């Protein structure tokens, strides 16, 4: 089909709106996503997201209140900004986050249809949009507070813009393509690695200078404000976000398998705080976010350079897993949660297993430059993911490109006859078999991990009975036993069943006697039933096992402070000094030093009292009891009678 330069977008849109098949397919797409949404609402994770969905939700809440940081940014900002703007009029309703995703995917469907129609014909457009509509992974991600739906829309627009640029080399088309790719980059930075290849592929040599300059300037237009804000507000020269370094190390280390997002040296459910603690300990410095990312990038590069053969084998493994029907869970157990929507597991099989065979035949059977351009985008984007590690949501941006290619492939095959049809069919079957194969025996994690996530969600929603059921089931998995049993005790505590919680923690410590969090939680349970001696012992043992455990330090310091205050109220100033001194030794606080100053004063140890008071004001110059006591001491020196210091 010849490319229509004049008003091509408008004409394509008009043709799309006049096609009843488009409306039927769009209605099917929306219906399937609403069907999933209705069933996803029954899961506790719908209202209590965790891991990355929780991060995006919290970032959007900050945006809704006018806070766009913290800077430098950890993740690309466009989706949190869009979600935050959605939250403003609807009071942070998580239902609207999913509705936004459905709207974004519906818009992406329209772009897929118009792109396929413009370059491969109406039949290809209908087939491509149908593939998009029934894609189970797209349906699944429409129910998650993740940037995937926006990435898919921008991916579709990126393909459309670069195809248009390949036909019309004007600076206007180049600028439009640049802006779209720039917006995609501040949604998922992988697009930034693909953009130069896409733009160079689309531009002919004679138009490269002028249009290339326009494309580059437009590409930087959405990115530079983020970079400037990162530097001016965050103090570091970070282009978009600081997440890349730790992801690179996860995907390139001696224990990496290409799909498991495990950080070496950290817990299975690690946090960025743990990642920073490990890096600070290794480097001997307090690393800022940008420096932290650089640290992990360097570790990954060192592994690749020192173990090139192992790194190459890992790259081959990741390449195979990228182009495979196996869906790699990242935040949520895909098969477990997808099974809660009837029919969705079947539709999930229609992702790469359906798209790749027909997309390959589209490259051969259609024999168009547009097919080669789209496949170039797919391969370069795949490389940008393979350099890190594979997860289903990381590869979803190529789905619009593959659906257009697959639509073109099926439409072309329907016109073939004889040997060409046989060759195309054989090629599709070969690719299908390769896609369905599982040479590395990749498999989903046990469903107990999903039950553990549900338990945490029920815990956040204060449904403690359901949380306990989930944690007990999750504890049957040896890999999750410690964490699930620990959180079982937490659920029991929050349900005010402290004695049950104590029994749970003691049982856990019999099996894992060096587990510091269990001692800390045991201390909390003992404290709740007024068993102060056991609580103190448990907190001290937790700190002995993990001297950096801030929760145990805070709990111990607080309990010791309360003991000291209790003795002061009973007039035992000498006895109060013992727990108060230990409290500030564990965790110095203004309140601890203030009450120690009071204890010294009541024991006639005025110099020590003045010194302790000075420490209190040094830690918190606005701490009212210390400020008042200092003023009273000054008045006392002039002979004015002052009241006894308060025990706060």
Query: pLDDT by residue (tens digit) across 493-517?
Result: 999 999 999 999 999 999 999 999 9
Q: Count helices and strands (H / E) in the chain.
A: 33, 0
**Predicted confidence band at 597 (pLDDT cuts at 50, 70, 90)?**
confident
Tell me which of 288, 317, 346 is where a domain ends.
317
Q: How many structural domains does the chain have?
A: 4
Write out the DSSP string of 495-559: TT-HHHHHHHHHHHHHH-TT-HHHHHHHHHHHHHTT-HHHHHHHHHHHHHH-TT-HHHHHHHHHH
pLDDT at position 599, please?
87
Mean pLDDT of 579-606: 89
How many residues can be counted in the chain? Answer: 648
Please check whether residue 43 lies inside any domain of the structure: yes
- Distance in angstroms (rounded) separating the CA atoms of residues 631 and 637: 10
Weakest-pLDDT range from 19-33, 355-369, 493-507? 355-369
User: 122-133 vs 20-40: helix axis angle to the nearest 10?
Assistant: 10
Please check whether residue 442 lies inside any domain of the structure: no
Rounded to a whole number of angstroms, the distance between the first and last alpha carbons of the chain is 82
Please check whether residue 644 lies inside any domain of the structure: no
Mean pLDDT of 544-564: 92
Query: pLDDT by residue (tens digit) across 264-295?
Result: 988 777 888 889 989 999 999 999 999 999 99
- Distance in angstroms (rounded) separating the CA atoms of residues 178 and 188: 15
Write out the DSSP string of 298-366: HHHHHHHHH-HHHHHHHHHHHHHHHTSS----SSS-HHHHHTTSTTHHHHHTTSHHHHHHHHHHIIIII
Residue owning tokens 């004049």: 6
pLDDT at position 271, please?
85
Please check whether residue 431 lies inside any domain of the structure: yes
**Predicted confidence band at 211 (pLDDT cuts at 50, 70, 90)?**
confident
pLDDT at position 366, please?
59
Mean pLDDT of 521-548: 93
**Predicted confidence band at 624 (pLDDT cuts at 50, 70, 90)?**
confident
Q: Are residues 274 and 291 in the same domain?
A: yes
Please check whether residue 375 lies inside any domain of the structure: yes
Q: Are residues 117 and 169 in the same domain?
A: yes
Mean pLDDT of 539-566: 93
**Is the pLDDT reported for residue 225 higher than 50?**
yes
**Is the pLDDT reported for residue 635 higher than 70?**
no
Q: Are residues 532 and 588 in the same domain?
A: no
Tell me which of 403, 436, 469 is where a domain ends.
436
Q: What's the token pair of residue 584?
A: 């500030």
Of the two residues 134 and 637, the one the predictor is more confident about is: 134
**How many other CB atoms are found less than 10 A from the CB of residue 58?**
14
Run of H or E including 384? helix 369-386
- For residue 471, give Cα distances in angstroms to 123, 139, 374, 581: 51, 28, 46, 39
Please check whether residue 553 lies inside any domain of the structure: no
Nearest to 36 by CA among 267, 337, 403: 337
Q: Are residues 330 and 431 in the same domain?
A: yes
Mean pLDDT taken over the chain: 90
- Distance in angstroms (rounded) separating the CA atoms of residues 445 and 328: 10
Q: What's the token pair of residue 489?
A: 């005790």
Mean pLDDT of 466-482: 94
Please check whether residue 563 lies inside any domain of the structure: no
Q: What is the CATH number of the domain that holds 532?
A: 1.25.40.10
Mean pLDDT of 524-531: 93
Q: Are residues 80 and 226 in the same domain?
A: yes
- Distance in angstroms (rounded) separating the CA atoms of residues 633 and 309: 73
Tell me which of 394, 416, 436 is where a domain ends.
436
Please check whether residue 558 lies inside any domain of the structure: no
Q: Are residues 347 and 304 in the same domain?
A: no
Q: What's the token pair of residue 138?
A: 């797209």
List the domain range (segments joined by +) for residue 609: 568-637
Q: Are residues 43 and 167 in the same domain?
A: yes
Q: Are residues 574 and 509 in the same domain?
A: no
CA dihedral (628, 630, 633, 634) positive or negative: negative
Cα angle, residue 88 at apex, residues 93 and 241 outer, rounded to 5°: 95
Write out the DSSP string of 437-454: --TT---PPPTHHHHHHH
Backbone φ and ψ for 411, nearest 5 degrees, come out as -60, -40
User: 532-545 vs 550-569: helix axis angle to the nearest 10?
Assistant: 150
Give percent of the chain above pLDDT 70. 94
Query: pLDDT by residue (tens digit) across 317-350?
Result: 999 999 999 999 888 999 999 999 999 999 998 8
Q: Are residues 401 and 297 in the same domain?
A: no
Nearest to 558 by CA among 538, 541, 543, 536: 536
Q: Are residues 77 and 173 in the same domain?
A: yes
**Is the pLDDT reported for residue 647 higher than 70?**
no
- For residue 242, give Cα distances in angstroms to 85, 109, 218, 289: 23, 31, 23, 6
Nearest to 16 by CA among 163, 127, 125: 125
**Predicted confidence band at 471 (pLDDT cuts at 50, 70, 90)?**
very high
Q: Is 446 exposed, middle or buried (0-12, 13-18, 19+ CB in 10 A)?
A: middle
Q: Residue 345 in contact with residue 136, Cβ under 8 Å? A: yes
Cα angle, residue 359 at apex, residues 358 and 361 outer, rounded to 5°: 60
Nearest to 338 by CA among 200, 164, 194, 138: 138
Q: Are residues 464 and 396 in the same domain?
A: no
Q: Are residues 74 and 147 in the same domain?
A: yes
């Amino acid at each position: 089909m010849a490319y229509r330069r004049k008003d091509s977008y408008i004409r394509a849109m008009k043709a799309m709106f006049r096609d009843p098949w488009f409306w039927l397919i769009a209605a099917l797409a929306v219906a399937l996503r609403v069907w999933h949404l209705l069933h996803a609402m029954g899961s506790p994770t719908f209202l209590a997201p965790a891991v990355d969905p929780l991060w995006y939700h919290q970032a959007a809440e900050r945006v809704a209140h006018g806070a766009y940081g913290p800077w430098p940014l950890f993740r690309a900002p466009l989706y949190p900004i869009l979600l935050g703007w959605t939250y403003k009029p609807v009071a942070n309703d998580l239902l609207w986050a999913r509705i936004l995703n459905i709207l974004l995917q519906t818009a992406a469907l329209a772009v897929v249809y118009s792109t396929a129609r413009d370059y491969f014909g109406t039949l290809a457009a209908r087939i491509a949009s149908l593939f998009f509509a029934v894609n189970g992974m797209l349906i699944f991600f429409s129910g998650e507070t993740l940037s995937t739906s926006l990435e898919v829309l921008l991916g579709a627009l990126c393909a459309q813009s670069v195809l248009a640029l390949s036909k019309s080399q004007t600076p206007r088309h180049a600028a439009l393509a640049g802006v779209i790719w720039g917006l995609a980059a501040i949604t998922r930075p992988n697009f930034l690695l693909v953009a130069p290849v896409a733009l160079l592929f689309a531009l002919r040599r004679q138009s490269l200078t002028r249009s290339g300059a326009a494309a580059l300037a437009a590409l930087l237009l959405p990115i530079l404000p983020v970079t400037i804000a990162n530097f001016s507000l965050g103090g570091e020269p970070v282009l978009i976000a600081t997440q890349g370094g730790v992801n690179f190390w996860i995907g390139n280390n001696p224990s990496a398998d290409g799909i498991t997002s495990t950080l070496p040296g950290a817990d299975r459910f690690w946090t960025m705080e743990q990642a920073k603690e490990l890096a600070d300990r290794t480097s001997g410095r307090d690393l800022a976010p940008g420096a932290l990312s650089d640290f992990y990038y360097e570790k990954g590069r060192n592994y690749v350079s020192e173990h090139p053969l192992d790194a190459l084998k890992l790259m081959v493994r990741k390449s195979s897993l990228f182009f495979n029907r196996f869906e790699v869970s990242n935040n949520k157990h895909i098969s477990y949660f997808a099974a809660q929507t009837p029919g969705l597991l079947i539709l999930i099989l229609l992702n790469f297993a359906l798209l790749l065979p027909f997309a390959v035949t589209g490259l051969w059977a259609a024999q168009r430059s547009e097919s080669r351009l789209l496949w170039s985008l797919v391969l370069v984007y795949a490389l940008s993911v393979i350099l890190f590690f594979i997860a289903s949501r990381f590869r979803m941006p190529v789905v619009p490109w593959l659906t257009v290619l697959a639509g073109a492939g099926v439409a072309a095959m329907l016109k073939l006859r004889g040997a060409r049809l046989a060759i195309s069919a054989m090629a599709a079957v070969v690719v299908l078999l390769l896609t369905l194969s599982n040479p590395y025996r990749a498999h989903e994690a046990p469903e107990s991990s999903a039950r553990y996530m549900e338990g945490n969600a029920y815990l956040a929603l204060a449904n403690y009975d359901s949380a306990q059921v989930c944690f007990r089931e999750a504890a049957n998995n040896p890999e999750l036993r410690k964490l699930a049993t620990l959180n079982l005790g937490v659920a029991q505590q929050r349900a005010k069943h402290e004695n049950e919680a104590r029994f749970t923690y003691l049982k856990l410590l019999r099996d894992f006697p060096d587990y510091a969090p269990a001692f800390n939680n045991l201390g909390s349970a003992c404290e709740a039933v007024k068993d102060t001696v056991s609580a103190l012992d448990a907190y001290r043992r937790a700190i002995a096992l993990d001297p950096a455990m801030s929760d145990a330090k805070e709990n111990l310091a607080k309990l010791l402070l309360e003991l000291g205050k209790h003795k002061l109220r009973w007039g035992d100033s000498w006895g109060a000094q013992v727990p108060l001194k230990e409290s500030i030794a564990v965790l110095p606080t203004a309140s601890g030093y203030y009450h120690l100053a009071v204890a010294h004063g009541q024991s006639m140890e005025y110099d020590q009292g003045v010194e302790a008071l000075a420490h209190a004001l040094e830690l918190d110059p606005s701490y009212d009891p210390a400020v008042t006591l200092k003023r009273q001491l000054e008045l006392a020196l002039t002979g004015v009678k002052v009241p006894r210091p308060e025990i706060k």
